[in-house]
Amino acid sequence: MAENVFVSRHPLVLDRLTSLRDRATPTPAFRKLVHDLAQFLFVEAASDLELTTTQVTTPITTCGGHRLKGSIGLVPILRAGLGMAESILEMMPDAQVWHLGLCRDHRTLQPIAYYNKLNEQSKLDVVFVVDPMLATGGSAIAAIDELKKWGMGRIKFLGLIAAPEGVAAMQRQHPDVPLHLGVVDSHLNEVGYIVPGLGDAGDRQFGTRTE
């Protein structure tokens, strides 16, 4: 694996991923798993955020302390990235959230952009693009193209399950963007789903599975 691809080996991540994959996991439990996994991966992905030093007065005395430096943003790719962003926001309540709406054309697998709130004010020091699935990589690449166009600072991608095809495509198009992943699976099937994967992350999170 390339040096900026970080695949978690944390036992809690491995345990929760197994439940996430399970077809018998109902929607409310699935959402809770996405919530927990997003927080575990975020803690790992945020380990190199910059700090400033400060002083803090405890009930006993004054000592040195630290504060996070710079502006931090979350960019959920709609709709499946929403659950991840909401859970990370619990840990980072001051983060800005900039939504990007992208969905795959089921025939061509190309991303279709349908919502974009980015503007001149959306420049941030570090942004975390969040989406549970990195399949062909088309959606993540399109999202990051857009963020770079608006002059965002450092960009990191957080995903729960990736296909090797998506990881390779991201490495080709955006080699500067580190990938923080729960797991890299075997391959994509003939209709662009990750194998073994978990099925459709959006449908499973929002209870819209129809088959």
Would you say 21 or 154 has its CB closer to ligand URA? 21
Q: Is position 200 an interface residue for ligand URA (rule: CB under 6 A)?
A: yes
Rounded alpha-carbon distances, angstroms, from residue 161 to 49, 58, 101, 150, 206: 24, 42, 19, 27, 18
Return the number of other C-beta atoms located less than 10 Å from residue 204's C-beta.
22
Q: Which residue has the tokens 């809770």?
A: 32
Identify what 138 binds: ligand URA, ligand PRP, none; CB under 5 to 8 Å per kind: ligand PRP
Tell me the Cα Rg of the chain. 18
- In the bound complex, what is the minimum distance in angstroms from residue 119's beta carbon to ligand URA? 28
Q: Could you say which of 33, 127, 169, 201 contacts ligand URA (CB under 6 A)?
A: 201
Question: What are the two backbone dihedrals, phi and then psi, of residue 58, each rounded to the nearest 5 degrees?
Answer: -90, 175
Identify what 194 binds: ligand URA, ligand PRP, none; CB under 5 to 8 Å per kind: ligand URA
Span 130-149, contacts to ligand PRP by CB under 6 A: 131-140
Q: Is position 73 an interface residue for ligand PRP (rule: CB under 6 A)?
A: no
The answer to whether residues 85 and 74 touch, using CB atoms and an 8 Å cutoff, is yes
Q: Is position 166 an interface residue for ligand URA (rule: CB under 6 A)?
A: no
Q: Is position 162 an interface residue for ligand URA (rule: CB under 6 A)?
A: no
Q: Which of 99, 98, 72, 87 is nearest to 38 (CA)?
A: 87
Q: Is position 192 an interface residue for ligand PRP (rule: CB under 6 A)?
A: yes
Q: Is position 159 an interface residue for ligand URA (rule: CB under 6 A)?
A: no
Span 174-193, contacts to ligand URA by CB under 6 A: 193
Q: Could you say which of 5, 7, 68, 109 contacts ligand PRP (CB under 6 A)?
A: 109
Identify what 166 binds: ligand URA, ligand PRP, none; CB under 5 to 8 Å per kind: ligand PRP
Rounded alpha-carbon distances, angstroms, from residue 178 to 27, 93, 186: 30, 23, 20
From first CA to last CA, the distance across the chain in angstroms is: 36
Rounded alpha-carbon distances, angstroms, from residue 43 to 141, 151, 188: 23, 25, 28
- In the bound complex, what is the minimum distance in angstroms from residue 69's beta carbon to ligand PRP? 30
Residues interacting with ligand URA, by CB under 6 A? 80, 133, 135, 193-194, 197, 200-202
